[in-house]
Chains A and B, each alone.
Chain A
Amino acid sequence: MSDTWLMTNLRAVKGRAYPRIIGASREPSWIFFEVALPLLTVAAYAYIYKFMEAPAAFVGFVILGGAMTAFWLNVLWGMASQLYWEKETGNLQLYLMAPISRMSLLAGMAVGGLMGTTMRAAATMIIGICVFSITLDLSEPLMLFAVFMATMIALYGMGMMFASLYLLLGREAWHMSNLMTEPIYLASGFYFPVKALGAYAAVGASVIPITLGLDALRQLFYPSSREAYGFLPIEIELLVLVGLCGLFLVLSKISLDYMEKLGKSTGRLTLRWQ
């Protein structure tokens, strides 16, 4: 692996990430659609918990879940569906013709998406914290950072894998993304501790990295709720997340290679009109 190869691919990551990062500042409508509107859902759950006199931590859980929905939606619509849209606009063939690893393009999409979405999620989180006057425990910042990063790498790794698979599905990808939105909110416990679903369901839902990521973040922000509402010990959850990072990155490489090979032999995947 030469230095030139590495630099070329790092530049490709930077180049592909750029439109996503800059796009956030060029389209201010995101403040309404991706911060204000999700906050309404968050508020609804928060008031339900308040009305039921649930422990104060539950309002915090809801705000955390509300912020994390931005990442899930970005993975579905901005990662998984992206190669299909790139094909439709003619970008995909230019990307595939470039002398770079295809993984660097997906990595660029992921890095750009992650950076842009973090801004949105942070805005949701900050507004939620201010409106509902909640307090978070930040006594384990390193663990918090490790869990967040592992969750994001695994989650975006899954998005990278879906990107190639969605390309095979073509227009059906729309339905896939729609199908995977609400059910995952439920299965991954975006607005409640996933432990409530029962052990088997929670283990099944843990294939989606955000399930264990959210559970670990809940435990870190509210240490007093660990015993009652935590699904697995944080260290175990972090370990599984690290494993999922490797798994999804490897699977995304395999699916990307498969997609390109199929595209080149049939001419159907990478060419807009075929």
Chain B
Amino acid sequence: MQPAVETKALTRVFHPKKKKEGKSVTALAGVDLRIEQGELFGLLGPNGAGKTTLLKILSTLLLPTTGKAYVAGYDVATQFHAVRKRINMVSGGEISGYGLLTVKENLWMFTQFYGMKSQVALKRIDEMLEQFGLADKKNEKVRALSTGQRQKMNVIRGFVTDPEIIFLDEPTLGLDVNASRTIREFIVDWVKKRNDRTVLLTTHYMAEADQLCGRIAIIDDGRILACDTPENLKKMVKTSTMLKLDTTHLGNKQGLSSIKGVEKFTFTDNPESNMTSLRFVLEDEVAVSDIVSAVIAGGAKILGLRKTEPTLEDVFIKLVGKGFE
């Protein structure tokens, strides 16, 4: 079966307008990816990892510098007309559309760019507004919507044209729990309903990727570091021990990485609560006592210590040597 998305040694370099404005930035450095039809595929990585650049290339908005990218079997650089008929995209924090139009009018307008008959479009819009709990807002002007309602409208905009492949770029960014849940549930249902629909979701929310995606690629610095099911990815750190440690503010953390048995570690300082959160991937549990000693010697008090089940964040820490934040 033909893959929904395929990239071969895909690179994208952004050059500054003028040489004195700085160096070129390599956003993608040889990305090889194959996403099958019917997959809900996640692309997980921190800000600046290259996720959005990859989506822009796949959605025909940007050309690759070198390498090839195919969507539904069509080359995004040369057969972009064929690609565009089959895709749509939704980004988190989108402010698309026109504030003086109503929700329904805005959605209808976008369906017209995909050649949908008004009758069909309006019926589908009504159904989807109902599904997203926005039916009572359909005649409200878009500028009167809350952030969550607006993002739900954006998601409807992407799905209402019934694309074969949809690119979702951080679709739940900045949303509250309820709005995020509605969107996530909809995405899962949408893929399940037909086996020829494909979702490529980028996110930096680990739990979201873990919960939604059948397979996940971890990307950093424009490179795919690992690509597998969430379960298999977590197996990568199964032999290791995950340790979380909350302390009062710990100034010097230099020595922690050199403790014997510490594979990788990350930390977060919270100036407001004057606390430090440490996260370790340990080769050997023996390191725990040395870590505790080092923290106390550093003048901090231990507030909490626990072993945790491996998460995708631990996989990321193991692969990259740093956390997402």
The answer to whether B95 touches A90 (Cβ under 8 A) is yes
Interface residue ranges, A against B (CB under 8 Å): 4, 7-9, 11-12, 14-16, 18-19, 22-23, 26-27, 89-91, 93-100, 105, 263-268, 270-271, 274
Bound together, the chains give a CA A8 to CA B56 distance in angstroms of: 24
The answer to whether A94 touches B110 (Cβ under 8 A) is yes
Query: Given A12-B112, A98-B113, A99-B115, do A271 and B96 touch, yes or no (CB 8 Å)?
Result: no
Give the shortest distance, in Å, between B12 (CB) and chain A (any CB).
8
The answer to whether A96 touches B61 (Cβ under 8 A) is yes
B286: Cβ under 8 A from any A Cβ: no
Query: Given A264-B61, A274-B14, do A27 and B109 touch, yes or no (CB 8 Å)?
Result: no
Query: Given A15-B109, A19-B101, A97-B84, do A8 and B114 touch, yes or no (CB 8 Å)?
Result: yes
Bound together, the chains give a CA A270 to CA B63 distance in angstroms of: 12
Nearest residue (CB) in B for A96 is B61
Query: Contacting B17 at CB < 8 Å: which of A4, A26, A268, A271?
Result: A268
- A264: B residues at CB distance < 8 A: 60-63
The answer to whether A19 touches B100 (Cβ under 8 A) is yes
Give the shortest distance, in Å, between B264 (CB) and chain A (any CB).
31
Query: Contacting B101 at CB < 8 Å: which of A22, A89, A265?
Result: A22
Nearest residue (CB) in B for A20 is B98
Q: Which secondary structure dominates where chain A touches chain B?
A: helix
Query: Given A99-B84, A267-B14, do A4 and B115 touch, yes or no (CB 8 Å)?
Result: yes
B59: Cβ under 8 A from any A Cβ: yes
Which residues in window 91-111 of B have CB below 8 A to A? 91, 94-98, 100-101, 105, 108-111
The answer to whether B115 touches A11 (Cβ under 8 A) is yes
Bound together, the chains give a CA A23 to CA B116 distance in angstroms of: 23
Give the shortest distance, in Å, between A204 (CB) and chain B (any CB).
34
Q: Size of chain B's interface in residues, with CB distance under 8 A?
A: 35
Nearest residue (CB) in B for A93 is B61
Query: Contacting A98 at CB < 8 Å: which of B91, B97, B101, B114?
Result: B114
Interface residue ranges, B against A (CB under 8 Å): 14-15, 17, 56, 59-63, 81, 84-85, 87-89, 91, 94-98, 100-101, 105, 108-116, 118, 141
- A99: B residues at CB distance < 8 A: 81, 84-85, 113-115
- A14: B residues at CB distance < 8 A: 112
Bound together, the chains give a CA A267 to CA B88 distance in angstroms of: 19
Bound together, the chains give a CA A274 to CA B17 distance in angstroms of: 11
A8-B115, A91-B96, A270-B61 given; 12 more Cβ-contact pairs under 8 Å:
A4-B115, A11-B113, A11-B118, A22-B105, A90-B94, A90-B96, A96-B61, A97-B61, A100-B113, A265-B63, A266-B15, A267-B56
Question: By CB atoms of chain A within 10 A, which of B14, B56, B118 has the most?
Answer: B56
Give the shortest distance, in Å, between B123 (CB) and chain A (any CB).
16
Bound together, the chains give a CA A96 to CA B110 distance in angstroms of: 12
Nearest residue (CB) in B for A274 is B14
Give the shortest distance, in Å, between B90 (CB) and chain A (any CB).
9
Bound together, the chains give a CA A268 to CA B115 distance in angstroms of: 28
Query: Contacting B96 at CB < 8 Å: which of A4, A8, A15, A94?
Result: A94
Bound together, the chains give a CA A77 to CA B85 distance in angstroms of: 31
The answer to whether A97 touches B89 (Cβ under 8 A) is yes
Bound together, the chains give a CA A7 to CA B120 distance in angstroms of: 15
Nearest residue (CB) in B for A4 is B115
The answer to whether A18 touches B81 (Cβ under 8 A) is no
Query: Given A15-B108, A271-B62, do A97 and B87 touch, yes or no (CB 8 Å)?
Result: yes
The answer to whether A18 touches B109 (Cβ under 8 A) is yes
Give the shortest distance, in Å, between A61 (CB) and chain B (any CB).
35
| In the complex, the 4 A-B pairs of residues with the closest C-beta atoms, listed nearest first | A15-B112, A8-B115, A98-B113, A99-B84
